[in-house]
Amino acid sequence: MVFVLRSVSILGSTGSVGANTLEVLTSLSERFRLYGISCNQNILLLHNQITQYKPAIAVITDEKKYTEFVNQHGSRIGDTEILYGEEGLNEISSQKVVDIVVAAIVGFTCLRPVINAISSNKTIIIANKEILVSAGELIISSLKKSKARLLPVDSEHNALLQVIISSGLEYRINDKNYYKSKLNNLTITASGGPFLDLEFSEFKNIKSKHAIKHPTWSMGKKISVDSSTMMNKGLEIIEAKLLFNLDLENINAIIHRQSKVHALVEFLDGSTIAHMAEPDMKIPISYALTFPDRIYKSSAEKTSYDSLTFEDIPISKFPCYELARSAAKNGKNSGLILNAANEISVEYFLKDKIMFTDIPNIIQEVFDKVEITSNDNIESIIENDNEVRSISQGLIKEKYGTA
């Protein structure tokens, strides 16, 4: 059978979601064509990806690394053109030829390219939860004005979507009335991270090297730290609220150590349907790429579902989770403040300049200093984000005695 090829750009192709996306695209090569890829600093891997996957455009966002790369290889490798910075990202996310944009850059850098992709009516597959948390209202209002579609690739939200679609319902992003009339509760699962069983009194001794070891998923450093503080689950609560818009008390998380059940949807009649799969990002990525069909064939062995356990989150040990829930409740720029203060704190923690237990305290102190307000355009969001970051840095320097 001959299919119409769909063109894909990957913002952040050298990270774990990006690399998994390239593998999925390879196995579905009769349906997809790679258009653009990007990296920040990992030019060695980018070069390998250019030679192996031959995209039309490759973007390097770090200025030094871009110069280094172009000095070494020139601004074209075979048929691949090398572009620089945010302009390059905008190019690969809004070009007419592009159908699907995979937003897999960690952090705030992909906000503008995603907004551009939305106004260019693309299908956006979003792995970046920070911008959903920080700029959710703007993203939803932009989506309402365009024909673009935003599909979550975060495993839990992708699982919620799979259950909702498999149950005959529709994907209507942020449609409160619709989902309230169909669903009772959404539950996402959390592996619990590496410190679930550690005594709280030991938390002060946690170093970054311990926090980046995730028990079940293989992921980048920032998200691994977020998993270890349970901030990741908190951000995911905000993300679920944004996508499906049930009341906050109907969106919850539970600990499920095996990471095989990813989400549970309780319908109006009291039936609960769960999504189960091996913890393999290729599953949600492929579902989003071929949505609403299932075309990807997993090469994994038969999954075993013995000894599945569920337990409540010990919230007193993980204050970041509650901080995120209250941000979800307060709305406006609370998610932005939470995310920016968290990113800065995690950055310092990764250098072992602050303690693990300082992270929630810093975030709380930043909340005490920053005004809650609404940002309705991209400029004010970026300005507000920069402001919160510099307040967070100032606070860390002043109170935690670090440069």
Residues in contact with Mg ion by the rule CB under 5 A: 154-156
In the bound state, the residue with its beta carbon closest to Mg ion is: 154
Nearest to 187 by CA among 275, 267, 261, 252: 252
156 or 358: CB nearest Mg ion: 156
Q: How far apart are CB 263 and Mg ion at their closest, in Å?
A: 10
Q: How far apart are CB 372 and Mg ion at their closest, in Å?
A: 27
230 or 362: CB nearest Mg ion: 230
Q: How far apart are CB 356 and Mg ion at their closest, in Å?
A: 20
Nearest to 315 by CA among 325, 305, 327: 325
Q: Residue 215, preceding bond cis, omega within 30 degrees?
A: no
Q: How far apart are CB 13 and Mg ion at their closest, in Å?
A: 20
Read off the tokens for 351. Answer: 């250098």
What are the DSSP calls for 73-87, one per residue?
H-SEETTEEEEEHHH
> How many C-beta neighbours within 10 Å does residue 293 have?
8
128 or 334: CB nearest Mg ion: 128
Q: How far apart are CA 223 and CA 206, in angstroms?
A: 16
43 or 323: CB nearest Mg ion: 323
Q: Across-strand partners of 125? A: 102, 151
Q: How far apart are CA 114 and CA 132, in angstroms?
A: 10
Q: How far apart are CA 387 and CA 399, in angstroms?
A: 18
155 or 162: CB nearest Mg ion: 155
Kindly tell me the burial class for residue 78, based on how many C-beta atoms sit within 10 Å of its own C-beta (0-12, 13-18, 19 or more).
exposed
Q: How far apart are CB 233 and Mg ion at their closest, in Å?
A: 8
Owner of token pair 């004010």: 380
Q: How far apart are CB 156 and Mg ion at their closest, in Å?
A: 5
Q: How far apart are CB 246 and Mg ion at their closest, in Å?
A: 18
Contact yes or no for 113/88 (Cβ under 8 A): no
92 or 243: CB nearest Mg ion: 243
Read off the tokens for 172. Answer: 């209507």
Contact yes or no for 103/127 (Cβ under 8 A): yes
Q: Which amino acid is at 52?
A: Q
Q: Across-strand partners of 84? A: 60
Q: How far apart are CB 236 and Mg ion at their closest, in Å?
A: 5
Nearest to 257 by CA among 216, 300, 314, 206: 216
100 or 190: CB nearest Mg ion: 190
Q: How far apart are CB 234 and Mg ion at their closest, in Å?
A: 11
154 or 347: CB nearest Mg ion: 154
89 or 235: CB nearest Mg ion: 235
